[in-house]
Homo-oligomer: A and B are copies of this chain.
Amino acid sequence: MDEEHRVLESVVGEFATKEIEPINKQIELEGIPIDLKKKLSAQGFLGALAPYELGGASLDRLGYSILLKQLASASPSVAFYIFLQNSLVIKSILLEDDIREKVMSISSGNSSGTFYYSNKLNFLDYGGVVNDGRMLRGTLNAVINSDANIFIIPDNNGRFYLLENGYSALDEHEKLGLRGLRFSPVRFEVDIGNAVELPVNIDEILDDIHLPISSIALGIAQGALNKAIEYAKERSAFLHKLKDFQPLAFGMAQAYSQLDILKEYMVNIAQGERDINKELMLKIVSIDFAREVSKLALQVHGGYGYLMDFGIEKYYRDAMFLSILGGNHIDEKIKLSSTIFQEKAGWI
């Protein structure tokens, strides 16, 4: 990793400690405050992938990965929010020159976007929103960041549209994780004239999320594990610090090792030539890893780990939600298998 990225890593780390950690409970309970969005914007993080002239930081793949990892280690919600704005919304908007300026409103924190792609990963049929040629009408049941004002959604034919009106978010779901983002059904009833069709290639988009999702997963693992290590150094039971007991210490040492290995791989593939297979491989491994480590970290904390105030249980929930929203799904495993076997594989 070069100096520039090292500096970024430490800058984002400090930002997370100073600006996010202290308000983590607020983020969980009330969502990401606009104040934090403004601070993220001031650093260029909010429009991380957007060009400078649109308020972004124009980060390269490695920079973006580092940003997401470091933010996720403090708040997976914040990291996922940045991911959603950049990898999905901003990237899609930039496909259409006419609406470039909308990127500016996102990277400045004045607008908030969301992008609905979950059907593709969750054995659900498209068709929630039906396009009859005049109107887009219907309900999408599980929309993350559903209090956005910019929606990019597929119609029943899998064509994507950007809308800024004609939506209404319904009652929130109970939230498994990523509680900084609203999660609810959204009803759409939009005049097609008010929707902008975007030439989104959903398969390409989904190929592009492997690395950022992996980075968030590794951030979750890093955040949870660091907290567990600190706790095990402080907390005593049976007259000894928790760190002195082999089953806990060895479990954390194992996790620490795996995390280091995965982080180096992340850096390698983010700064090397683009290799989608490697990105997918990293995602498949690191999402499972994030779930395991966050579970271990919770267990190290005992009963306190089960309480929100200790800031540990959210990693466990968020890792699970990330795995649902972000991948490691059957279709992806079939894809990877087919690459490895150099012919269709894993389809039965």
Contact = CB atoms under 8 A, between A and B. Distances in A.
Contact of A249 (B240, B260, B268, B341): B341
A104 to B, nearest CB: 38
Given A233-B341, A330-B246, A265 B261 contact: yes
A229, A232, A244, A282, most chain B CB atoms within 10 A: A244
Most buried by B among A244, A260, A261: A261
A326 to B, nearest CB: 16
A280 to B, nearest CB: 8
A257 interface: yes
Interface stretch (A66-74, A189-197, A332-340): A332-340
A243 B345 CA distance: 5
A341 B252 CA distance: 10
A281 interface: yes
Chain B CB within 10 Å — which of A229, A249, A250, A265 has the most? A249
B246 A261 contact: no
Contacts of A347: 244, 246
A173 interface: no
A111 interface: no
A282 B260 CA distance: 9
B330 A229 contact: no
Interface in A204-261: 229, 232-233, 240-241, 243-246, 248-250, 252-254, 256-258, 260-261
Contacts of A265: 260-261, 264-265
Contacts of A248: 346
A284 interface: yes
B261 A281 contact: yes
A348 interface: yes
A346 B253 contact: yes
A23 interface: no
Contacts of A229: 340-341
A285 B258 contact: yes
A46 interface: no
A245 B282 contact: no
Given A244-B346, A245-B348, A265-B265, A250 B281 contact: no
Given A241-B345, A249-B334, 20 more contacts: A232-B345, A233-B341, A243-B343, A244-B347, A244-B348, A246-B330, A246-B333, A246-B337, A246-B347, A249-B337, A249-B341, A250-B337, A253-B284, A253-B340, A253-B346, A256-B281, A256-B336, A260-B281, A264-B265, A265-B265
5 contacts: A246-B348, A249-B333, A250-B337, A253-B336, A257-B281
Interface of A: 229, 232-233, 240-241, 243-246, 248-250, 252-254, 256-258, 260-262, 264-265, 268, 278, 281-282, 284-285, 330, 333-334, 336-337, 340-341, 343-348
